Structures are given as C-alpha cells and as structure tokens.
Chains A and B, each alone.
Chain A
C-alpha cells in the first residue's frame, strides 16, 4: 500500500538475475511513477527483457526485490498478475489461432463469459482496424497487424500496468507510428506503461522518464531533458563536394561548434557531436546554423548537412565509453541461456 500512496507503479532494489556465469541483470534499481510511460533503453542483451520478465512474474529474481503496485513479485505473484499485462518481444498470441479466437480465448481466461468475451473481442478488433483479418490465423498477419493483435490482447481488461517489450522492433516506420498512437491512447486512460526499446527516438517520443541500461546495470536515469543534457543534443553530419577541403572544413567546424570533429571513413564526410551540456536541442541547432554559415563564407562547398538526434550508439559512447556493437556477440549467449 505504501507504494500506492507514494505513487509508484514499480519499485525495484538491487534486482539480480543470473544465467550460469552471465549476470543478465546486475543490481537494477527502478522507480516508475504511476500513470506515466517509463522507457528502458538499451542494446540487445543489456538485460531489458530479463528485467521485464521478472517484473511480470515470469522469472524469479536471484537477488534484490521488486514490487509492482506495492506487491512483491515473488510472494504476491498472483496479485501482480491481476494488474499487469505483457506484450512480449515476440508475438505473445497463438499463431495457429485466428485473431478472434485469440482474443476470445484470453478474455475467457480473464473470467469473461462467452458472450462478453466475444463482444469484447469484436470491439477490440474493430478499434484496432483488424475486423477484416479477424477470421485469419495470426501466422498470416503482417508485422504491424501482429503488434496490434498483441497489444489488443494485453488490454482485454484495462491493465494498471502494461509491459511493452520492444513493441516496434522490426516494424516499418508507418506501423511504428501507429503503435506509438496506441500507446499514447492507452496511457491517456491512466495505464502505466513500461516500455523497453533500442531506439532513443522511441523513448523520446513516448517516455517521460528513461533508464539507460547496459550489461544489466542502470547507467543513467532521468527525464528526457536530463538524459540528453548528459549525452549532447546530437551530431552534425557533413558531406563535402571536394575531399581536399576536408582539413579546412574540420578546422572551421571545430571552431564554430566548440566540439570534437571526427573524420568518417568516407573521405568527404565529417561528424561532430554538438550541444553537450545544453538541456535542449535549441542551442545545438543555432550552433549548427552558425557553423554552416561559416563554412559558406570560407568557400567550402557542402553537399549535405544534417543535425541528427544522438543515436543509441552515441548515447552509449557518451555514457559508457564503448559502443553498442560490443554487445552483439553477447546477445546469443544470454538468449540461449534464457531458453535453456
């Protein structure tokens, strides 16, 4: 109850999960306020899914504590299950059944009688634009449709807390935007959402607070503004017409942006991180505009100029000093052991 009054949907302290030698989750502390979208950002194999599985009572923690709405996820697992819904990384619906059958099955398992289950299934399929595909087996659905039926299955009973584990991984941009709209609609009705993602812009679009997680540890936590301030607002990417002008352009950029400039493998390209320390992208955009004007005055021809948000790679580089690539070899290990 104390967590209820303190307004926390999730509270964890020193959460640990090991698979053999690997410490998949290594002392995670989270405090997720009720009624918000909380983003957990990290590369493959960082421990995001394992954390979600512990919070959703699918895995027992090996150490530490986790409470969902004040209920211990191990001792009061049943209470927790009554209030949460999970949309897993891989479609958490039965691919052999049709859309309608899946929703009716789950509605029945939630205690609805036959008529109510069928009615609720129809309404949800309608709202999610899946009425036409209702009678088709889910294995014939496209990626975007699978995500929809998956989320529909999670809100058969409006949950107090919804886990969305990488809801847009593998989706095209259009389907991605549609999933984001659904998430916003769900949160608007008061559901708390824990969202894991590999994409900074997704966390940026939806989450109010973000935890960055790496090697099973939270390495940064805060509001979007705080996080960006610690990372830098983004990168300027520059393509020159003439490779011979690169040293000169590098010098101009360094002066104008007061930032490190890197030579890309491409002989006409340069990248500079900008705005480190500023809490929003505003300063970065102005600095970038000044730099562009300066380049024009010096007579350097620029073919392409862009100011991008920091990518996850850049966030990681800034926070950990190593990039996300280093994790890719580990991904396989943790997955195998989780499956074993």
Chain B
C-alpha cells in the first residue's frame, strides 16, 4: 500500500545549496530542554501517532464498553439481584480492571517501536534519558483517560450513580491514571527485554489475568478460601479498586489511597531503573 503512494523522486525539487549553507552558518545552540520539557515532547509524539493511526484507540473504547456490558449483565442478577444494583459496586472495579489491562499495550508498542532507526537518533540526543519512555507513558495516560470517560459514560447510561459526584469521580480516575502510569514501567521493561511482540503479549497475559481477576473487582473477598484472601487482600489491584470505589462513593479512604500510591512508587522505583538499564544497553 505504501509503495502505491510513494512519491517519485523525479518530481523532487532540487536541494538549494545556498539556503542550506545559510542555515548551517547558524552555529548557536539553544539551551538543552529540561527533563519535563523533553518528556512532554515525547508525549506529543505519542499523541501525533494516535492522530495518524486513530484505530489504535479501539482498545480504549470498544474493549472497555464490552467489559462493562459483559460483566454487568453476566453477574448482575446472580450476585446483586439485578444488573442495576450490581453496577453500583462493579463499575469502579471494572474501570480499574480494564485500564490496568490496557496498560499492557505499552509493552507491545515499545517493543515494536524500539527496533526502528529513529531510536538511534533519540538515543544520540543530549536529553534526559528516561524522557523517551516517560513520553510513551504520558501518551498512554491520555488513552487511560479516554477509556475512563467511555466506561463512566456507559455506566451512567446503565444506571450507575456515583455518590461522590463529579469531584469524587475525577479523584478516582486521577488515582487510577497515576497507578497505571507507574504500573506501565513493568511493560516498558518487558517491551525492551523480550525479543518479539508475541512474547510480550504472552508474558503480559500471564501477569495481568491473575493480578486483575484475583482481586475484589467482582466480589467481596470474604467468601474466598483463606489462602486466596491473603493474596487478594494484599494485591495492589484490590487496594486500588477499593480506593477508587470509595472515592467515587464520596468517601476518603486514606489507607487505601496510601497503599495505591505506595505500590505506584514501588513500581517506578523498581521497574524504572531496570527499564533505563535495558534502554541504555539496547
């Protein structure tokens, strides 16, 4: 397809040696960009990619809608008497589950992107080294926000009414995005460590499925066997789901928020440096 639209070099305008020389004479260099500015520029790159290939928003629009509809009607009647009752409990949890699942695409895009020649250029620039990776995650944060808005809209249509109002919902989504940003460093690591897109997907599934399903997203853990409760009650996804659920219900779950942020910090501190080590060696 790309060959059909390739512009022939024969129509190419000539290179202007004079204007080139004039451009090259300017030897002054602007000061180097700050870490924040470089990261935001890479975030802009991620947004430009979405602009050129809008289909890649499919996973943050269609997939979350499917998740809400599927689980609300599948479990609603059995677990809470009716889907409308159940969605009050489920929506914040399914929101957390879907967004955490979506984070794994970060690893896939890092893996396919890193082999391209442009990375050689990025890595030869005098910039704050992690900014390339942070840029990815900033672009992804936008995707998580889109997914959240889509799911909340569908939830509201199905009858979800958050007692926390607008502020509660925004706080809940903000916490979710912070956590997902931090959690994504696991995927940047795998994206750089594993050789193929398929193996990244495979490993991601192995991590994501147990981590999200073995949580309090669907049901109260009290009916689970003791050993499973021990895992579920300490899972970062459970802490996050409880925090988001209560924030959206208008409460202030200080302990759960602290746990969620603590896990986030831990993810960045462990997987950030490993990612950068792999990135520098690539």
- Report which A residues bind B (CB closer than 8 A): 53, 56-58, 60, 78, 81-82, 84-86, 88-97, 101, 105-106, 108-113, 116, 120, 123-124, 126-133, 136-137, 139-145, 148, 153, 155, 157-158, 172, 174-175, 178, 181-182, 185-186, 188-189, 191, 339-340
Q: Tell me whether B33 and A109 are in contact (CB under 8 A).
A: yes
Asked, given contacts A109-B41, A142-B8, A174-B9, whether A92 binds B23 with beta carbons under 8 Å apart, the answer is no
Per the bound structure, the CA–CA distance linking A120 and B25 in Å amounts to: 13
Per the bound structure, the CA–CA distance linking A53 and B21 in Å amounts to: 27
Kindly identify which residue among B17, B26, B125 contacts A158, using a CB–CB cutoff of 8 Å.
B26
Q: Tell me whether A97 and B48 are in contact (CB under 8 A).
A: yes
Kindly identify which residue among A58, A108, A129, A137 contacts B13, using a CB–CB cutoff of 8 Å.
A129
| B120 at interface, CB cutoff 8 A | yes
Question: How far is the CB of A137 from the nearest CB of chain B, in Å?
Answer: 6
In the complex, chain A residues whose CB is within 8 Å of the CB of B15: 127-129, 148, 178, 181-182, 185
Asked, given contacts A139-B2, A142-B8, A153-B121, whether A111 binds B29 with beta carbons under 8 Å apart, the answer is yes
Per the bound structure, the CA–CA distance linking A96 and B16 in Å amounts to: 26
Per the bound structure, the CA–CA distance linking A126 and B12 in Å amounts to: 12
Q: Tell me whether B24 and A88 are in contact (CB under 8 A).
A: no
Closest A residue to B280 by CB, please name it. A60
Q: Tell me whether B20 and A128 are in contact (CB under 8 A).
A: yes
Per the bound structure, the CA–CA distance linking A143 and B6 in Å amounts to: 9
Per the bound structure, the CA–CA distance linking A129 and B10 in Å amounts to: 12
Question: How far is the CB of B5 from the nearest CB of chain A, in Å?
Answer: 5
Asked, given contacts A97-B48, A111-B33, A129-B14, whether A57 binds B124 with beta carbons under 8 Å apart, the answer is yes
Closest B residue to A83 by CB, please name it. B126
Closest A residue to B45 by CB, please name it. A105
Question: How far is the CB of B54 from the nearest CB of chain A, in Å?
Answer: 12
In the complex, chain A residues whose CB is within 8 Å of the CB of B13: 129-132
Q: Tell me whether B117 and A129 are in contact (CB under 8 A).
A: no
Kindly identify which residue among B6, B48, B118 contacts A142, using a CB–CB cutoff of 8 Å.
B6
Asked, given contacts A108-B41, A126-B16, whether A94 binds B116 with beta carbons under 8 Å apart, the answer is yes
Q: Tell me whether B16 and A129 are in contact (CB under 8 A).
A: yes
Known contacts A108-B33, A130-B12, A148-B15, then 20 further A-B pairs from the complex at CB < 8 Å, ordered by chain A residue = A57-B123, A58-B120, A86-B120, A91-B118, A92-B118, A97-B45, A105-B48, A106-B121, A109-B33, A109-B41, A110-B30, A111-B30, A112-B30, A124-B23, A155-B24, A157-B29, A158-B24, A158-B25, A182-B15, A191-B24
In the complex, chain A residues whose CB is within 8 Å of the CB of B49: 96-97
| B69 at interface, CB cutoff 8 A | no
Closest A residue to B41 by CB, please name it. A108
Asked, given contacts A110-B30, A175-B9, whether A189 binds B24 with beta carbons under 8 Å apart, the answer is yes
23 A–B pairs (Cβ distance < 8 Å), ordered by A: A58-B120, A78-B126, A81-B124, A94-B118, A96-B53, A108-B33, A109-B41, A110-B30, A111-B29, A111-B30, A111-B33, A120-B23, A139-B2, A140-B2, A142-B7, A142-B9, A143-B9, A144-B12, A145-B9, A145-B12, A158-B24, A185-B15, A189-B21
In the complex, chain B residues whose CB is within 8 Å of the CB of A185: 15, 17, 20-21, 24
Per the bound structure, the CA–CA distance linking A86 and B118 in Å amounts to: 10
Closest B residue to A56 by CB, please name it. B124
In the complex, chain A residues whose CB is within 8 Å of the CB of B281: 60
Closest B residue to A139 by CB, please name it. B2
Per the bound structure, the CA–CA distance linking A182 and B17 in Å amounts to: 7
Per the bound structure, the CA–CA distance linking A73 and B217 in Å amounts to: 51
Q: Tell me whether B19 and A123 are in contact (CB under 8 A).
A: yes
In the complex, chain B residues whose CB is within 8 Å of the CB of A178: 14-15
Per the bound structure, the CA–CA distance linking A146 and B41 in Å amounts to: 22
Per the bound structure, the CA–CA distance linking A142 and B7 in Å amounts to: 6
Asked, given contacts A145-B12, A158-B24, whether A88 binds B32 with beta carbons under 8 Å apart, the answer is no
Asked, given contacts A109-B41, A127-B19, whether A95 binds B116 with beta carbons under 8 Å apart, the answer is yes
Question: How far is the CB of A106 from the nearest CB of chain B, in Å?
Answer: 7
Q: Tell me whether B120 and A111 are in contact (CB under 8 A).
A: no
Question: How far is the CB of B118 from the nearest CB of chain A, in Å?
Answer: 5
Per the bound structure, the CA–CA distance linking A76 and B21 in Å amounts to: 30
In the complex, chain B residues whose CB is within 8 Å of the CB of A105: 41, 44-45, 48
| B251 at interface, CB cutoff 8 A | no
Question: How far is the CB of B11 from the nearest CB of chain A, in Å?
Answer: 8
Q: Tell me whether A86 and B31 are in contact (CB under 8 A).
A: no
Per the bound structure, the CA–CA distance linking A96 and B47 in Å amounts to: 12
Per the bound structure, the CA–CA distance linking A175 and B12 in Å amounts to: 10
